[in-house]
Amino acid sequence: MPYVDYDEVGAACADCGRLFRSAEDLDAHRRESHPATRTSSTNKPRKATLPCSLCSRKFFSIAALQDHTRRDHST
């Protein structure tokens, strides 16, 4: 996928933090890259379980938590 400028961002993946121009691109990414984010029996989204120790925001993956910490809490 080509580089996305911040002013072109329409959606961000909650699992990995990757940026997309549209919600449709994000949906395609989630289907291909994060199929485990939905439970097979109920097809409901799973709950984010990794909280940030600085702001209590929760994430699905350690990578997303690390990206958030680096991006939002670096000095």
How does residue 47 score in pLDDT terms, banded at 50, 70 and 90?
confident
For residue 33, what are the contacts with CB-CB under 8 A and spacing of at least 6? 13, 15, 16
pTM score, whole prediction: 0.41
Domain count, the chain: 1
pLDDT at res. 8? 62
Q: What is the CATH number of the domain that holds 25?
A: 3.30.160
Mean pLDDT of 28-34: 83
Length, in residues, of the chain: 75
Tell me which residue range forms the domain holding 23: 6-73
pLDDT at res. 7? 58
Per the model's pLDDT, the better-predicted residue between 46 and 38 turns out to be 46
Q: Is 62 part of any domain?
A: yes
pLDDT at res. 1? 44
Distance CA 38, CA 60 (A): 11
Q: Beta-carbon neighbour count of residue 34 at 10 Å? A: 16
Per the model's pLDDT, the better-predicted residue between 26 and 3 turns out to be 26
Q: Are 9 and 31 in contact (CB under 8 A)?
A: no
